[in-house]
Amino acid sequence: MTDDELIWRIAGGSGDGIDSTSQNFAKALMRSGLNVFTHRHYPSRIRGGHTYVEIRAKDEPVKSRGDNYNFLLALGDSFARNPQEEAYYGNEEIKPLSENLDELREGGVIVYDAGLLDTDEIEDFDQRAEENDWHVYDLDLRGLAKEHGREVMRNTAGVGATAALLDMDLEHIEGLMEDAMSGDVLEANLQILEEAYESVKDDYEHTHDLRAPTGSHDEEQVLVSGSHGISYGALDEGCRFISGYPMTPWTDVFTIMTQHLPEMGGISEQVEDEIAAASLAIGASHAGAKAMSGSSGGGFALMSEPLGLAEITETPIVLVEAMRAGPSTGMPTKPEQGDLEHVLYTSQGDSNRVVFAPGDPAECYEQTRKAFEIAYNYQIPAIVLYDQKLSGGHQTVPEGVFDEEPNPDLGSVVTEQDLEDAVQEAGRFKRYMYDDEEGSGFGGVSRRSLPGQKGGNFLASGNEHNEVGHISEDPDNRTIQMNRRMAKLDAIREDLDENSDHQPVYGPEDAEYGILSFGSTKGVIEEAVDQINESGHSVKSMNVSDIMPFPKDEVTAFLEDVDEALVVEMNASAQFRRHVQGQLGRFGEKLYSLLKYDGNPFEPEEVVSGFESRLGGEADLSEYNVRIESATGD
Amino acid sequence: MSAFNAIGEEREIDRDEFTPEIEPQATWCPGCGDFGVLKALKQAMPEVGRTPEETLLVTGIGCSGKLSSYFRSYGFHSIHGRSLPVARAAKLANPDLEVIAAGGDGDGYGIGGNHFMHTARENHDMTYIVFDNEIFGLTKGQTSPTSPKGHKSKTQPHGSAKQPIRPLSLALTSGASYVARTAAVNPNQAKEILAEAMEHDGFAHVDFLTQCPTWNKDAKQYVPYIDVQDSDDYDFDITDRGEASEMMQEAEDALYEGTVLTGRFYRDADRPSYQEEKQATGDMPEEPLAERYFDEDYEWERSYDLLERHK
Ligand SMILES: Cc1ncc(C[n+]2csc(CCOP(=O)(O)OP(=O)(O)O)c2C)c(N)n1
Ligand code: SF4
Q: Which of B181, B167, B180, B106 is nearest to B136 (CA)?
A: B106
> What are the residues facing A383 on neighbouring strands?
A319, A355
B105 Cβ inside 6 Å of ligand 1:
yes
Each residue of A539-550: pLDDT tens digit? 999 999 999 999
* DSSP assignment of chain B: --S-TTTT--S---GGGGS-SSPPPP-SPTT-THHHHHHHHHHHHHHHT--GGGEEEEE-SSTGGGHHHHS-SEEEE--TT-HHHHHHHHHHH-TTSEEEEEEEHIIIIIITHHHHHHHHHHT-SEEEEEEE-SEETTTTSEE-TTSPTT--BTTBTT---SPPP-HHHHHHHHT-SEEEEEETT-HHHHHHHHHHHHHSSSEEEEEEE---TTTS--TTTT-SEEETTT-TT----TT-HHHHHHHHHHHHHHHTTT-EEEEEEEE-SSSPPHHHHHHHTT-S-SS-HHHHTT-TT-----GGGGGGGG-
Chain A interface, mutation test: which of B50, B55, B307, most A Cβ atoms within 10 Å?
B307
Question: Which-ligand-closest: CA of B218?
Answer: 2
| Pocket lining: B137 vs ligand 2, CB cutoff 6 Å | yes
State whether A451 and B52 contact (CB < 8 Å): no
Q: Which residues pair with A385 in a beta bridge?
A: A321
Say how many Å lie between the CA of residue B30 and the centre of ligand 2. 8
pLDDT at residue A89, rounded to an integer:
58
Hey, which residues does A10 pair with through a beta bridge?
Answer: A53, A73
Which residues is A387 bridged to in the sheet?
A: A323
Q: β-strands B98-104, B55-59: how paired?
A: parallel
Write the CA distances from A442 to A184, A412, A438, A445, A468, integer angstroms.
65, 11, 11, 6, 18
Residue closest via CA to ligand 1's atom 9 equals: B62
CA A618 to chain CA mean position, Å: 32
Ligand 1 atom at minimum distance from B144 CA:
16
Q: Please return the burial class of A46, using the count of CB atoms within 10 Å of its CB with bins 0-12, 13-18 and 19+.
A: exposed
pLDDT tens digit at each of 311 positions of chain B = 478 999 999 999 999 999 998 777 778 999 999 999 999 999 999 999 999 999 999 999 999 999 999 999 999 999 999 999 999 999 999 999 999 999 999 999 999 999 999 999 999 999 999 999 999 999 999 999 999 999 999 999 999 999 999 999 999 999 999 999 999 999 999 999 999 999 999 999 999 999 999 998 877 789 999 999 999 999 999 999 999 999 999 999 999 999 999 999 999 999 999 999 999 999 999 999 999 999 999 999 999 999 999 99
Find the ligand nearest to B28 CA: 2
Is the model's pLDDT at A420 over the cut of 90?
A: yes
Please state, in angstroms and rounded to a whole number, the distance separating the CA atoms of residues A579 and B70: 44
Calculate how far, in angstroms, residue B132's C-alpha sits from the geometric centre of ligand 2. Answer: 11
How sure is the predictor about A471, in pLDDT bands with cuts at 50, 70 and 90? very high
| Ligand 2 center–CA A339 separation, angstroms | 41
A325 neighbors A319 (Cβ within 8 angstroms): no
**Segment A498-514, tens digit of pLDDT:** 998 899 999 999 999 99
Task: Compute the distance from residue B144 Cα to the ligand 1 centre, in Å.
Answer: 10
| ipTM greater than 0.95 | yes
Strand partners, A293: A243, A319
Structural contact between residues B104 and B131, judged by C-beta atoms closer than 8 angstroms? yes
For A158-204, how does the pLDDT look when each residue is reduced to its tens digit (9 = 90+)?
Answer: 999 999 999 999 999 999 999 999 999 999 999 999 999 999 999 99
pLDDT averaged over every residue in chain A: 93
Lowest mean pLDDT among A276-280, A428-432, A474-478, A629-633: A629-633
pLDDT greater than 50 at residue A1: no
B181 CA → ligand 2 middle, Å: 20
Average pLDDT over residues A252-258: 98
**How many angstroms separate the CA of residue A37 from the nearest CA in chain B?**
14
Closest by Cα among A608, A508, A624 to A568: A608
Model pLDDT, residue A617: 61
Q: Is A346 within 8 Å of A304 (Cβ atoms)?
A: yes
**Per-residue pLDDT reduced to its tens digit, A48-100:** 677 899 999 999 999 999 999 999 999 877 654 566 666 665 556 668 888 89
**Residue A260 to residue B114, Cβ atoms within 8 A:** no
Q: How far apart are CA B103 and CA B77, in angstroms?
A: 10
Q: Is A437 exposed, middle or buried (0-12, 13-18, 19+ CB in 10 A)?
A: exposed
Q: Is B32 in the pocket of ligand 2 (CB under 6 A)?
A: yes
For residue B213, the ligand closest to its alpha carbon is 2
Please report the number of interchain residue pairs, chain A to chain B, with beta-carbon separation below 8 angstroms. Answer: 227
Per 3-state DSSP, what percentage of chain A is helix, strand, and coil (rounded to 5)?
40, 20, 35
Q: What number does the ligand 1 atom closest to the CA of B103 have? A: 15
Output the DSSP codes for B126-157: EEEEEEE-SEETTTTSEE-TTSPTT--BTTBT
Instruction: Give Cβ neighbours of residue A583 (< 8 Å, ≥ 6 apart).
Output: A550, A552, A555
Q: What is the dihedral of CA A247, A248, A249, A254, to 10 degrees?
A: 40
**For residues B12-40, b (16+ Cβ closer than 10 Å) or e, as one string?**
ebeeeebebeeebeeebeeebbbbbbbeb
Q: How far apart are CA A141 and CA A203, in angstroms?
A: 14
Residue A17 has a pLDDT of 81
Three-state secondary-structure class, residue A11: strand
Taking an 8 Å cut-off on Cβ atoms, the answer to whether B284 and A262 are in contact is: yes
Instruction: Kindly state the helix (H) or strand (E) to which residue A516 belongs, with its residue range.
Output: strand A513-518
How many CB atoms are closer than 10 A to CB A216?
Answer: 8
Q: Which residues from A are below 8 Å from B282, CB to CB?
A: 262
> What whole-number distance in Å separates Cα of residue B11 and Cα of residue B7?
11
Q: What is the dihedral of CA A529, A535, A539, A545, to 10 degrees?
A: -10
User: In chain B, which residues have their Cβ closer than 8 Å to the Cβ of A289?
Assistant: 93-94, 289-290, 293
pLDDT tens digits, A341-362: 999 999 999 989 999 999 999 9
Q: At what angle do helices A361-378 and A475-499 cross, to 10 degrees?
A: 140
How far is A446 from A457, CA to CA, in rounded Å?
15
User: Residue A515's beta-bridge partner residues?
Assistant: A541, A566
pLDDT classification of A121: cutoffs 50, 70, 90 = confident
* Secondary structure of residue A514 in the 3-state scheme: strand
Identity of the residue in A416, A452, A461 whose CB atom sits nearest the CB atom of B97: A452
pLDDT, position A616: 56
